Amino acid sequence: MTKKQKYEFIVKYFSEKMPDPKTELKYTTPYELLVAVVLSAQCTDKRVNMVTPNFFKRFPTVDTLAEGSIEEIFDLIRSISYPNNKSKHLHGMAQMLLKSFNGEIPSDVDELQMLPGVGRKTANVIASVIFNKPAMAVDTHVFRVSKRLGLTPNAKNPLDTERELVKHFKEEQIPNAHHWLILHGRYTCFARKPNCKECGLTPVCSYYLDSSSM
């Protein structure tokens, strides 16, 4: 099977099983999603969704967050991983949004990465989810699943993975493909032991085929 055929099989499978995948982070505005994605670094979406309702009651806009104190932000996110750093990042991010972007969330990946606490993965999530751009955010799930499936066999890091996936998925497929791979990693292709018995991708999965041949 060629790599092109493998990608086509995976797109067909997910298009049927998961035609409209969405982020599991709860948000109503671009600002809220940006905050939620920053909080979700090395933390579960479930935990973030428990924290953000009270957070957005106190800080419903970029302006209110910029005017708040780091201490108050910390108190609201203390159950999130790395609350000290994230409190500083969120406060600095809000201030930079007001100073450099008129309080608007930029759509450009490079501009997004200028914001405190926003790395390439977070920037790609915002560009993809909010602005529907062909940006592929690579987290641990995407990195692991794409490697196991054989979509990115030579990728050594998230940037390698991103470049390879963007090269082979069609532009219009990329926003969905990001969610397909994340959700597949979250609920089927687990890190410690993938649930291959429940996976419909085994016919093209390099990990499964290699394991079966042993």
Q: Are 112 and 123 in contact (CB under 8 A)?
A: yes
- Positive or negative, the Cα torsion across 89, 22, 125, 160? positive
| CA atoms of 199 and 114, how far apart (whole Å) | 39
- Annotated catalytic residue: which of 139, 167, 193, 210? 139
- Annotated catalytic residue: which of 121, 156, 167, 170? 121
The CA-CA-CA angle for residues 37, 43, 44, to 5°, reads 90
Rg of the chain in Å (alpha carbons): 18
Q: Are 128 and 44 in contact (CB under 8 A)?
A: no
Q: Is 43 annotated as a binding residue?
A: no
- Of 18, 45, 44, the residue nearest 180 (C-alpha): 18
Q: Judge whether 20 counts as a catalytic residue.
A: no
Q: Judge whether 121 counts as a catalytic residue.
A: yes
Binding site as annotated, residues? 189, 196, 199, 205
Among all residues, which ones are annotated catalytic? Answer: 121, 139
Binding site as annotated, residues for [4Fe-4S] cluster? 189, 196, 199, 205
